[in-house]
Each structure stands twice: as structure tokens, then as C-alpha cells.
Structure 1
């Protein structure tokens, strides 16, 4: 399953694949670049694996959206192992993690 994005009102939801790693860089960037939304939601429902490339992609997204004065990014449906990596990396200070 590829990375997909869908918009409802001012919320843009990006649904990730099973692996969130370097192979996803281009598809992930395309999912949020040049979109018009106020809230960006990254859905980890299907994601079983994330490496440091995934963390870097999230930070790049945060930087890109901050330049457009968009500060609400939610990371949702994180499996326990993914959530643990995000918390250890102190991403709860940059993103809303549920």
C-alpha cells in the first residue's frame, strides 16, 4: 500500500505504508507539499517499522510547514514500538502524538 493523502475540510490526512523509511522519502514529501490545509495528520495505522529516515522526514515536514505558519501536526494510531521511538526522540514537544 503506497502513501496516500486525503483532505476533509482543513484537515489533510497522510496514511503511511507498513515501513516508514528512506524508500518513502519522495512519496511522503509529495503527500504534504503544496497542499492547502490547517491541520496535518500522519496516520501510522499500517506502519510496523520506522527508522531514523522516518524521523528525519517528520522533521523536514515540520520545518516545511512551519515556514508556511502551520504548526498543527498530529501523529495518530501509532503502534507501541513506533510511539516509543517518537517519545525517546522527544517528538512530543514538536508534534501531537496519539
Structure 2
């Protein structure tokens, strides 16, 4: 599953793009996308435009990113979620933890 990350020009924001299934098979690749970057961003964008599926392990990975980014002070936006992904996030009450758009 291709996961890519790119930092903004000023290094303040890291965008992680997800393509295909977001499940346990993507665990290490997702972690590398935010841990192995040369910048320390103040905010994160998870672009779910290409995500076709997400499971409970993906929810766990998002929570690990939240912890990495500062817990309650983390600034993480989940963008371009399709209706299925948005439904899973809503059922899991993730709108309480993340900005979903």
C-alpha cells in the first residue's frame, strides 16, 4: 500500500497521503511516513483521498500518530475521506480527536 509524505516548504506541516487499503499491512510504512522525516512539523494532514478501506488497526495507527504529535495538543486533519471511511471514523468518535474534512 503506497503511503507517501511531504513536508510544506517551511517544514511546519507534514502531509501524509494514503492510497488503497489502510490496514495493518501499512503499519510500518505509515509510521515511517512521520517518524523518518527531516522536519518536526507543528501540524499534520492525512490525505485519505485514495484510501478505499480502513480497519481498526488503521484507527490505532492514527492514535499513535496523535500521541507522537503531542496528544491532546496535536493538530491533525483527516481530509478527503470517502463516505465509508467517514462513517467508520464517526462510529469510532474520531471527530472528538481529529479535525475531519
TM-score by length of 1: 0.92
1:80 matched to 2:83: yes
Please list every run of 5 or more consecutive structure 1 residues that lacks an aligned counterpart in the other structure. Answer: none
Larger strand percent: 2
Shift, 1:70, TM fit: 5.2
Show structure 2 runs of 5+ residues with no match.
none
Residue equivalent to 1:2 = 2
Q: CA deviation at 1:71?
A: 1.1
SS of match in other structure, 1:44: strand
CA deviations 1:22-65 (Å, max 9, x no partner) are 00000000111154111100000000110111101001111121
| Contact 1:17–1:47 under 8 Å retained in 2 | yes
User: What is the aligned residue count?
Assistant: 97
**d(CA) in 1 for partners of 2:89, 2:13:** 22
- Aligned equivalents of 1:2 and 1:73: distance in 2? 20
Superposed CA RMSD = 1.6
- How far apart, CA to CA, are the structure 2 residues paired with 1:2 and 1:84? 23
TM-score of the superposition, structure 2-length normalised?
Answer: 0.89
